[in-house]
Structure 1
Amino acid sequence: MGQNARIGSRPRGLITIDWVLACVAMLSIFLAAGVLIRTSVETDPTRGVGGVRILSDSDTLLAFQDFEFEAEGWRPDLTTTEIAGLGPVLGPFTDDAVTRSLSVADDITDLYIAFDLHLLGAWDGALAIAANETALAAVTPSDLAETTADRGEGFTILTRGEAITPQPGEAELPGRDASFVTLSVRIQAQDPDTNIALRLSASDAGEGASWALDNFTVIGFASELNGGR
């Protein structure tokens, strides 16, 4: 009976688990997976509009901007969070010509550009979309039906729209109660140039009309059979 009792001691030779560290590690994995899914936005018009997919080995995410923090590459680079019914966006713009330049690697055989285009206020004119001096579309708030057009020079554009009426907000929020149209724009370029210049400009939009842009995504696809140009 001369031995001291050891209450609650752990048997030697056993590996213990720090459950706090394990939970933190699992949370990190889930957060990383969420970012990957969010940035892997489907932009290929041949596979349908919208949706989410994991990028394949031959896909390269060249750009993703939701304008939470910056608008790098855009001229002008104005952003706002004060449009009722929208989060952070590029804009709003009226009669400005807005451009975004993209550098594309030689091995990219297909380029997919996607963004949400918000047309606010009463529009009389149209918003022109062009790439490398190729006119792709002139859209208006009435363009709610899905349309696809081959514009030559290797460019194809697909648009579809939805009219949105935000819920009334606080009195100090600008733009509250204003209806707007959001157009989902998808542009595909086959054998793109190594430099792409995207340009958006309003033509006779009308007094009080403006536009903003969100969820800008660019994916490049490199064919396994392509050895460079």
Structure 2
Amino acid sequence: MTFIRRVLAEFLGTFWLTFGGCGAAVISAAYPQLGIGFIGVAFAFGLTVLTGVYAVGNISGGHFNPAVTVGLWVGGRFSTLYVLPYIVVQVLGAVAAAAILKIVAEGQPDFVLGRFASNGYGDLSPGHYTLLSAAIIEPILAFFFLFVIMGATSPSAPAGFAGLAIGLALTLIHLISIPITNTSVNPARSTGPALFAGAEYVKQLWFFWAAPIGGAVIAGLVGRLLYREPH
């Protein structure tokens, strides 16, 4: 079980690093007038590592990088047993994140599910993204938000730093997804403004309840495995 927890932690951490850093670069860096630019992308990569280490550093060491794994092994700080498995899952995590980002960034304008509400989801999305892009980004970011929360508040996590990790995770989430959905990951936050913004926003509320809660439920299930304390 320890082996599974460690490689799962490295997979998720490397996925988060790639999805967060590259996602900010692909989606938000060049957004017209309000793009986050090079500094924003640099912060995004730093925040993925920081929040990822708080989430799973106590499980896997928080490498998220084959060069780090090899370097620590050469330096006598890491077991030979885990070198190859770590590198494999790190690459798999990065590839999975990049593949999902490609679908999100393309927007899929002709996707068969069409668009949201009477005026279309794309009309209300800051970057005119489609339902498919929104349906991917919101659950994934909600998953990782709860993932960081569970990791940072687990009994074996560094005491006193949970609020920092959680707050910075939410900062990163906004750096990635504002152009797509204006960023929710919080059904209550979406409901309040929608009630005053007009009927077309209210018609979409079901999505901003279903997507974050769905992602959080999956994170809760994964967390039960990953953060299970030894007896």
TM class, shorter-length: under 0.3
The structure where strand makes up a greater share of residues is: 1
Structure with bigger helix share is 2
If the length of structure 1 is used for normalisation, what is the TM-score?
0.28
Specify which structure has the bigger relative contact order, considering alpha-carbon pairs within 8 angstroms and separated by 6 or more residues: 1
Q: Larger C-alpha radius of gyration, 1 or 2? A: 1
